A and B are shown apart, each in its own frame.
Chain A
Amino acid sequence: MKIATTTGDFCDYEKEYDISAILPLMKESGFKHVDVNLSGAFKPDSPLCGDGWKSWAYDIKNTGERLGMDFVQAHSSDTVYDRGEKRDYLTSMIERELEVCEILGVPGMVVHGICKKDGGREEFMEKNTELYRELLVTAEKTGVAIHTENTCHKNAPSYHLFEGEDMNELVERVDHPLFGAVWDIGHAHVEGVDQYKAIMTMGKNLRALHVHDNFGVADVHIQPYAGNLCYDAILNGLVDSGYKGYFTLEAFSMPSPQTFCFCNRKSFEKDGRVYNRLGMPPVSIKIRSERLMHDVAQFMLEAYDCYEE
């Protein structure tokens, strides 16, 4: 199994979309396989909203090639529940992101499902079957697979993908070879799910992972071993189910970003003066921390004889 991490790791050190600037930092941290974070692609300042988005994507591709890195996973932006102009626009952005994946050679992209407050389970399944089938038209053209993701009740109680069985049900309803599951082990930990059982239940439907830690209470996306997640259950499950995807970190090594919703590490004001010297330590510290996180992930895979470079 190969280790990947997300370009979001350095989101407080470079502009979110300046992936060509982020890649050398990831490389220096020891990562070769990259999860491209496109979660904010719809924002007005995103290059994906402008005419030059293909040039932006090719620049990233060229940078990756120059550095000897490959793009193995992506995370899309979100769409919304209700149909209409906004939904059409956001869906078109995800379709564009699938094209970005095609340019970069990314084989699969995570796309969150849609839900509405207090929505029922059956309606959720039907609406998402419809959404994903719509997106899969572009997936077929690009050859990029789509992965739906589990959550936890604390994050989204009416997003009815919590257990391995829920994921399988949606995969079966969509019934498309390019549609599968990404298992977010941090969300599952908050939910208190039996991870081994869930991974075995999903079996071949499991195409990707989000690896991060927490204390089983809130989805704080901290690095492995900063919380109390049980990794033996995860690794045994991945090995026993014959998982073929990447071991993809979606975790904040320290420092967790100042701008992350759970952090919001504020500056300090006194006598009209703002003190923000300690909001984010320098990138040299972050690179060491990322390298440590990489090496810890490598230790985890080596302990189960499944590490690949």
Chain B
Amino acid sequence: MKIASTTADFESYVEKRSDVCEILPMMAASGFKHIDLNMYKAHADGSPLREDGWEKWVYDIADTAARLGLDFVQAHSSDSVYDEGEKKDYLTSLIKRELEVCRMLGIPTMTVHGISKKDGERGEFMERNKKFYLDLLETAEKTGVIVDTENTCHKNAPTYFLFEADDMNELVEKVNHPLFGVCWDVGHAHIDGIDQYKAITKLGKNLKAVHIHDNFGPHYFGADTHSAPYSGSISYDSIVKGLVDVGYKGYFTLEAYSIPMPKSFLGRDPLMLDGVVYDRLTDLPLEFKIRSENLMLDITRYMLASYDCLEN
């Protein structure tokens, strides 16, 4: 199994999240070779994916990766919305464009969150998402890119009814398309107290991608902190053993914040004192982040090597 990490790891070290060409050398310096392209904010103001000429943005990324010897192996889309209408159409069209980005970069699989509404019901959720994903899969067929739906936890989204493996399998069966599968987020599952081995083995061939990160689970904190592996209480034996036993063919993809946890994520306030702002310590210099990422990579290598499934 090969290890990947997300471009989001360094988003707080560049001016704009979309500065992927600047992020890639940082990931290379950290030791990563396989990249998960984060397009989660592709819909935000200033995103190059909203503009004409977005193809140049993609080609620049491809050139930079090729120069650095990196490859793109996974992606994360932006979100759509539940209600039908102009906004939904626009956001869905962006996700279709992101599938095209994946095709151009050689990315085989992209995670796309499902859509949910507050106080929605499970049956309606399944039907609405089946329709949503089938719409996207028309573009997936043209691009050859697999679309993965992702599990959540009750604390994050109580009416996003994809918590257990059975939920994921049900949606996969409803959609019933060879380019539709599952991304299993081990951190979300941990917050819901799910038996990870059982879930992974149930998902079996439906499992196309993983998101690896840590937290303190349901008992002590119950929040989705996306901490680095071994910064929380996840038991990795059940996960890696599960992946090995089901013959998982995807990447072991980190979606975790090594230190420093970005201040834009959970906040790290400066001190205001007598009208002066002190913010010398709200973030760490890049050299620390690279060391921290490299350490996270090596911990992950140890995890896979312990089960004789590490590939470079």
A278 nearest in chain B by CB position: B236
| B234 CB–A CB distance under 8 Å | yes
Contact with B along A234-275 (1 / 0, CB 8 A): 011000000000000000001110000011111110100001
Interface size on B, residues (CB 8 A): 48
Taking the closest CB of chain B, its distance from the CB of A45, in whole angstroms, is: 26
A224 nearest in chain B by CB position: B259
Known: A225-B260, A296-B288. A278 touches B220 (CB 8 A): no
Known: A215-B223, A218-B221, A275-B237. A232 touches B282 (CB 8 A): yes
Known: A215-B221, A230-B271. A278 touches B303 (CB 8 A): yes
Q: In the bound complex, how far is the Cα of B235 from the Cα of A286, in angstroms?
A: 17
| A137 CB–B CB distance under 8 Å | no
Report yes or no: A268 in contact with B241, Cβ–Cβ below 8 A.
yes
| B59 CB–A CB distance under 8 Å | no
| Chain A residues touching B, range | 35 or more
| B231 CB–A CB distance under 8 Å | yes
Q: In the bound complex, how far is the Cα of B232 from the Cα of A230, in angstroms?
A: 21
| A150 CB–B CB distance under 8 Å | no
Determine the chain B residues whose CB is within 8 A of the CB of A292 once the complex forms: 259, 288, 291-292, 295
Identify whether the interface residues of A are mostly helix, strand, loop, or mixed: loop
Taking the closest CB of chain B, its distance from the CB of A41, in whole angstroms, is: 26
Report yes or no: B235 in contact with A225, Cβ–Cβ below 8 A.
no
Report yes or no: A236 in contact with B278, Cβ–Cβ below 8 A.
yes
Taking the closest CB of chain A, its distance from the CB of B28, in whole angstroms, is: 20
Determine the chain B residues whose CB is within 8 A of the CB of A223 once the complex forms: 231, 259
Determine the chain B residues whose CB is within 8 A of the CB of A215 once the complex forms: 221, 223, 225, 266
Report yes or no: A254 in contact with B230, Cβ–Cβ below 8 A.
yes
Known: A225-B259, A230-B271, A263-B233. A285 touches B302 (CB 8 A): yes
Taking the closest CB of chain A, its distance from the CB of B243, in whole angstroms, is: 12
Would you list which residues of chain B between 206 and 255 have a CB under 8 Å from chain A? Answer: 216, 220-221, 223, 225, 227-238, 240-241
Contact of B268 among A217, A230, A276 (CB under 8 A): A230
Taking the closest CB of chain B, its distance from the CB of A69, in whole angstroms, is: 24
Would you list which residues of chain A between 210 and 237 have a CB under 8 Å from chain B? Answer: 215, 217-218, 220, 222-233, 235-236
A286 nearest in chain B by CB position: B230
| A58 CB–B CB distance under 8 Å | no
Contact of B273 among A196, A228, A229 (CB under 8 A): A196
Q: Which one of A29-37, A128-136, A138-146, A298-306 is at the B interface?
A: A298-306
Q: In the bound complex, how far is the Cα of B144 from the Cα of A150, in angstroms?
A: 59
> Which of A222, A225, A288 has most B Cβ within 10 Å?
A225
Contact of B267 among A226, A228, A256, A282 (CB under 8 A): A228
Contact with B along A277-289 (1 / 0, CB 8 A): 1110110010011
Determine the chain A residues whose CB is within 8 A of the CB of B240 once the complex forms: 278
| B261 CB–A CB distance under 8 Å | yes
Known: A218-B216, A281-B299. A228 touches B235 (CB 8 A): no
Given contacts A220-B220, A225-B268, A262-B233, 20 further A-B contacts (CB under 8 A): A217-B223, A218-B216, A222-B227, A223-B231, A225-B261, A228-B266, A230-B271, A230-B282, A231-B282, A232-B279, A232-B282, A254-B230, A255-B231, A278-B303, A285-B298, A296-B259, A296-B288, A299-B284, A300-B281, A303-B280
Show 6 A/B contacts (Cβ-Cβ < 8 Å), sorted by A.
Answer: A220-B220, A231-B282, A235-B280, A265-B233, A270-B197, A281-B299
Report the 3 A-B pairs with minimum CB-CB distance, sorted nearest first: A255-B230, A225-B260, A268-B237
Interface residues of A (CB under 8 A from B): 196, 215, 217-218, 220, 222-233, 235-236, 254-256, 262-268, 270, 275-279, 281-282, 285, 288-289, 292, 295-296, 299-300, 303-304
